[in-house]
């Protein structure tokens, strides 16, 4: 006799409960129109304050970052049944904690209260502070960091890139998954920056862009990591 052929039974992906810390870039390059200004406090206003935005928001780029973040948190909050919490960190010359792990609705409220600071880009502190919020996680959750940025880190002066690399390495050792989210001006790509982020910051060897294609790529990556979404197609439409 011969054994009947067996048919593999497809299994659904293991759905993961998760935490997501989002680090918001408030450095001068967000609003300085490609100048060397640090735009601290959105000053000088005649160069930094643009697009009809209030001085607390400062410029369309920062307004778009906030809207993208709120859209992302809302889409994930409404689009998955997993247990989930979010924390918010923002960074310029240094990093500050806007909220510890909280519900998605409370996180959107926190985002509505953020004000632009300007300054340098201290990614190392942002990653370390994000990790400190994720350290408060309930057990058995996946921890993610989404790092908004538009260029290489610049603080601390002279050690910025190595400090960010060390902070990222430490967070990865704690099991956190780091996802760089890059805002580009036009269609230009900085190859050195992309390689730095892919090789030294990202946990998945990728950098995602803050456009519709990048959001869809991010969704696919999260699904591959085990975040199960309730609806088919893009959650960001």
Q: What is the mean pLDDT of each run of 10 residues along the chain (237 residues)?
A: 45 73 98 96 97 98 95 88 94 98 98 98 98 93 95 96 98 96 75 94 92 85 78 66
Reported pTM: 0.91
Task: Give the CA radius of gyration of the chain.
Answer: 19
Query: Looking at residue 233, what is its pLDDT?
Result: 67
C-alpha count within 13 angstroms, C-beta hemisphere, residue 167: 25
The helix/strand count (H/E) of the chain reads as: 7, 6
User: If we measure between CA atoms, which residue out of 93, 84, 87, 51 comes closest to residue 69?
Assistant: 87
Helix, coil or strand: residue 25: strand
Sheet holding 142-149, edge to edge: 95-102, 84-91, 18-25, 142-149, 177-182, 208-209
Distance CA 23, CA 147 (A): 5
Q: Please, what is the end-to-end C-alpha distance for the chain in angstroms?
A: 56
- What's residue 111's pLDDT? 98
Q: In angstroms, rounded to a whole number, what is the distance separating the alpha carbons of residues 98 and 121?
A: 17
């Amino acid at each position: 006799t011969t054994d009947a052929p067996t048919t593999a039974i497809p299994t659904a992906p293991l759905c993961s409960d998760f935490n997501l810390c989002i680090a918001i870039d408030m450095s001068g390059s967000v609003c300085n129109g490609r100048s060397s200004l640090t735009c601290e406090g959105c000053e000088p206003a005649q160069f930094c304050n643009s697009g009809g935005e209030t001085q607390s928001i400062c410029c369309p780029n920062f307004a778009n970052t906030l809207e993208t973040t709120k859209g992302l948190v809302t889409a994930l909050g409404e689009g998955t049944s997993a247990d989930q919490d979010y924390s918010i960190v923002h960074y310029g010359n240094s990093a500050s904690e806007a909220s510890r792990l909280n519900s998605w609705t409370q996180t959107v409220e926190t985002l509505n209260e953020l004000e632009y600071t300007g300054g340098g880009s201290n990614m190392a502190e942002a990653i370390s502070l994000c990790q400190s919020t994720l350290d408060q996680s309930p057990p058995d959750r996946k921890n993610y960091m989404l790092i908004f940025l538009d260029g290489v880190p610049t603080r601390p002066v002279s050690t910025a890139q190595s400090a960010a690399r060390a902070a990222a390495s430490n967070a990865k050792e704690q099991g956190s998954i780091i996802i760089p989210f890059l805002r580009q001006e036009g269609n230009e790509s900085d190859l050195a920056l992309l390689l730095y982020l892919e090789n030294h910051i990202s946990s998945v060897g990728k950098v995602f862009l803050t456009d519709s294609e990048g959001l869809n790529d991010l969704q696919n990556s999260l699904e591959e990591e085990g975040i199960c979404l309730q609806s088919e197609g893009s959650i960001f439409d």
